Amino acid sequence: MNAAGLEAVFLANRALLLGFLRAHGAGDAAEDLLQDLWLRVRDAPAGPVGQPLAYLYRAANNLMLDRYRSQRQATARERSWSEAVGPTIVGRSDDPGSERMLIGRETLEAARAALAPLGPRAERVLVRHRVEGVPQRVIAEELGVSLSTVESDLRRATRALIEFRATLDKGPA
């Protein structure tokens, strides 16, 4: 079965796939996950799929697991952040002090300087994907480049920030 055949199976079983996602805990995210599945099916390379409906159920389940893991990681990150900055004290602002804001701005500018040699597209890809949470495929469409170009930009930008972070960890010479 080719990609067009897989699309036909998806369209014929859309309601069943949506019900599957809802029944397995996707909740309000079921429609979003189904849309993600459609995009993957639509953009899948042509090739034979022995049991297309089983393939679609498996792909839907994998998308749901990916979203669950992502949410779990975000919750852990938020918990770590809350533990690092301490509890909120009534009558005291949670806003960072002016010194901390200045250090943050300087660090951000230094990080941007570390990304500058890669060009503005690499920084944009990094921000759109890592900060704003936009899927790589959507970024590729926005920028009019291939998915592999977005992946390459993301790898290069991540490597540059890892190297930048290593310089921060070393401290002043």
What pLDDT score does 116 carry?
94
Residue 106's pLDDT is: 92
CA nearest to 66, candidates 98, 26, 39? 26
Name the CATH topology of 95-170.
Arc Repressor Mutant, subunit A (1.10.10)
Which pLDDT score is estimated for 44? 76
Torsion, Cα 37 153 125 155, to 10 degrees, reads 70
Nearest in space to 111 (alpha carbons), one of 163, 154, 156 = 163
Check whether 53 has a pLDDT greater than 80: yes
Residue 149: is its pLDDT beyond 60? yes
Q: What is the pTM of this model?
A: 0.47
d(CA 32, CA 18): 10
Residue 3 confidence (pLDDT) above 70: no
pLDDT of 28 reads 83
Higher pLDDT, 52 or 46: 52
Please tell me the distance from the alpha carbon of residue 88 to that of residue 51, in angstroms, as a whole number: 54
Residue 75, both tokens: 């919750």
Whole-number pLDDT of residue 94: 66
Contact 2, 47 (CB under 8 A): yes
Q: How many residues are there in the chain?
A: 173
Nearest to 167 by CA among 116, 111, 122, 124: 111
End-to-end CA distance of the chain: 61
Burial class (CB in 10 A: 0-12, 13-18, 19+), 17: buried
166 pLDDT band (50/70/90 cuts)?
confident
Judged against a pLDDT cut of 70, whether residue 148 lies above it is answered with yes
pLDDT per residue over 77-127, tens digit each?
888 887 776 666 676 666 777 888 888 899 989 999 999 999 999 999 999
